[in-house]
Each structure stands twice: as structure tokens, then as C-alpha cells.
Chain A
Amino acid sequence: GESVGLHLPTLSVQEGDNSIINCAYSNSASDYFIWYKQESGKGPQFIIDIRSNMDKRQGQRVTVLLNKTVKHLSLQIAATQPGDSAVYFCAEMGAMTTDSWGKLQFGAGTQVVVTP
């Protein structure tokens, strides 16, 4: 399944399917991007990050894709499991030489619900 962030804040995915969570970021000067997972009652948990000089990075069952041309970031989760149910946030940060370094700007979040 796919989501488009603000317009589809809830993504329902069947267990075992792949999930794609999309994020449109605002600042073309952003240099560093992170995906976080937040389970109910817990703090955001780091999933994967990517620098602006890359367009793809893979982790365990997750892949982040960055398209700087259209300022779009996506998180792909392979073989989605019930434990993947959470709110997912993309976050962006400016380059080290800018005032926005260190200031993570978070997107609105996408609720992922995994159904059996």
C-alpha cells in the first residue's frame, strides 16, 4: 500500500505486504533526512537516515528513497509485520553550515495499521 502523508494520514497494510510511506519536504536546502517510528506511548525511534548526496539507502527490511528534484522522500518496509504498526515521521535538517543544522523539522506523520 501507499500513503501521501498529509492527505492520507492512515495507511492500512496487510501483513506480509510491502508498505510505502511518502513524505514531501519543504526546504530544498535540506541536507539530512531521517525516518522515525513512534509507537503509542513511546518516543520516536530512529529507523534510517539519508544524506542529500544519496538517493537510496537500505537497512534491515527498510529502504529510504530521496528525490531531491521533487523534494520527495519515501520509506519502504518489506514484508510488513504487526510490530510495524505505528506512526511514521519523516524529518529534515539543513546542512552543517546553515542555521537549520540540528533543528529537525518533522512532517505530520503517517499512521500505519497492519492487518492480519
Chain B
Amino acid sequence: DTAVSQTPKYLVTQMGNDKSIKCEQNLGHDTMYWYKQDSKKFLKIMFSYNNKELIINETVPNRFSPKSPDKAHLNLHINSLELGDSAVYFCASSQVTQGGDTQYFGPGTRLTVL
């Protein structure tokens, strides 16, 4: 029973193409995120949605468009892919409480742009 799942796990595509990555969580969390991890393993937040509403957008190029059809899903669509988009993309989810905002991550999607 995977808590946060992503598809596909690997994505290899040509520059200029448009691609989507899907994420689903079965934890009942209200908030979902997309992170990008570069080749040096640096993790940086891209977007966050709370109950289908965009709440964090970290100056990501507008070629990246997240979409949340419901609070259990957050998809990432990327237009006109560039070489620099090659990275591992992680989806995460959390339920904010007074104690904190522990984010649980999916297994990642390794995107390679040729």
C-alpha cells in the first residue's frame, strides 16, 4: 500500500516535447507538493497545493504547470522540455498540524531530456 505514488518512474524524452508526471496520495492529506532534485542531490520545492488550491509557486518557469483535480492527486505538466529540466521530480504530501508539517515523499520520477 504505497502512501505517495508517482508515474512514471522513468521518463526519457526529446527537447521540445511536452510531458506529464502523475502523483497520487492515499494518506488523506490536504496538501501536496512537487520538488526537484538535481544531479548534486539538491532538493528544491517547486509547488504546493492545499485542497486543490495553489499556495506555493517558487519562481518556476511557466512551462511547468501543476494541476490538482482533487486533493489526492497533483500532476505536473511540462511544456517545451529543455535539457536543464533533467532531474528527479518528487511528489510529497502532508497534513498540517500544530506539531508540524511532516511531508511524505513519493519514489520520484527520473526525467531525462535528450
Interface residues, chain A, with chain B CB atoms under 8 Å away = 32, 34, 36, 38, 41-46, 49, 51, 87, 89, 91, 93, 96, 101-106, 108-109
Contacts and interface: CB of A to CB of B under 8 A. Distances in A.
Contacts of B45: 103-105
B64 interface: no
B48 A102 contact: yes
B42 A106 contact: yes
Interface residues of B, number: 27
Nearest to A103: B45
Given A44-B105, A102-B31, A108-B42, A49 B58 contact: no
Please classify the interface of chain B as helix (H, G, I), strand (E, B), loop, or mixed, using the class held by over half of its residues.
strand
B102 A49 contact: yes
Contacts, number: 60
Interface in B49-65: 55-56, 58
Contact of A44 (B90, B94, B100): B90
Interface of B: 4, 31, 33, 40-45, 48, 55-56, 58, 90, 92, 94, 96, 99-108
Given A106-B42, A106-B43, A101 B102 contact: no
A2 to B, nearest CB: 20
Given A44-B90, A102-B56, A34 B102 contact: yes
10 contacts: A34-B103, A38-B41, A51-B100, A93-B100, A102-B48, A103-B56, A103-B58, A105-B45, A106-B43, A108-B42
A93 B102 CA distance: 10
Nearest to A108: B42
B87 to A, nearest CB: 14
B90 A102 contact: no
B102 A46 contact: yes
Contacts of B92: 43
